[in-house]
Amino acid sequence: GAVVSQHPSRVICKSGTSVKIECRSLDFQATTMFWYRQFPKKSLMLMATSNEGSKATYEQGVEKDKFLINHASLTLSTLTVTSAHPEDSSFYICSARVRGRSNEQFFGPGTRLTVL
Amino acid sequence: AQSVTQPDIHITVSEGASLELRCNYSYGATPYLFWYVQSPGQGLQLLLKYFSGDTLVQGIKGFEAEFKRSQSSFNLRKPSVHWSDAAEYFCAVASAGGTSYGKLTFGQGTILTVHP
């Protein structure tokens, strides 16, 4: 149980376009989902916390208008990278917190974004 | 603010040898502590966690970790390493309360190489 999926696993896009990444909890309800960014050979940096039905809370330094997060249901959160630039190229990972087990997060497999 | 330090960026061991990965944390109260493993291009898999109780916790794949409050440490150990253990390992701490409840802060990661 507690499986989190992400789609797509890899995406390549041109500068200036927008890319949407989906994060789904497959077998549980996720009250909260988190979005992380991981640079090559670096640790994970929390970008934002997404609660179902409410606005996301962004970490300091993360541009809200550039990284749009929507958490429309208890099983789906989306991250849209708007007007992508090459410096947005990174590995994006989501995680979901299980309703009733609020101390644990389960991670998706990640999405590799390359902006040309 | 909470923080995690993994002093060793890269560790190399021989297959069958014992392993210890170091993790030191900074947190004002009793933390929630985690060890995750990440294979290249993949998401994170939870190895083990500590919330309370017995300070020696057992995880998957033969890993264990010991919480030492006096040393602010949560080192990961394995008595005999297998070649398949080669990966990157992340220690993380989560807030047990307050406005940052449940947010994970990761260490820098330790890359484990296993020689045959």
Instruction: Write out pLDDT tens, residues A41-85.
Output: 788 999 999 888 888 999 999 999 999 999 888 899 999 999 999
**CB within 8 Å: A107 and B36:** yes
Residue B116 DSSP SS3: coil
Residues 59-88 in B contacting A (C-alpha not used; CB under 8 Å): none
Which residues of chain B does A106 touch, with a Cβ-Cβ cutoff of 8 Å? Answer: 46
Q: Does B32 touch chain A (CB under 8 A)?
A: yes
Q: Is the predicted pLDDT of residue A104 greater than 90, yes or no?
A: no
Task: Note the pLDDT of residue A22.
Answer: 97
**B42, B108, B109 member nearest A110 (Cβ):** B42
Backbone angles phi, psi at A5, to 5 degrees: -115, 155
Q: Is the predicted pLDDT of residue B50 greater than 70, yes or no?
A: yes
Share of chain B above pLDDT 70, in %: 95
Q: Nearest residue of B to residue A110 by CA position?
A: B43
Q: Is the predicted pLDDT of residue A31 greater than 90, yes or no?
A: no
CB atoms inside a 10 Å sphere around CB B8:
15
Task: Note the pLDDT of residue B98.
Answer: 61
Higher per-residue pLDDT: A32 or B112? B112
B11 strand-pairing partners: B112
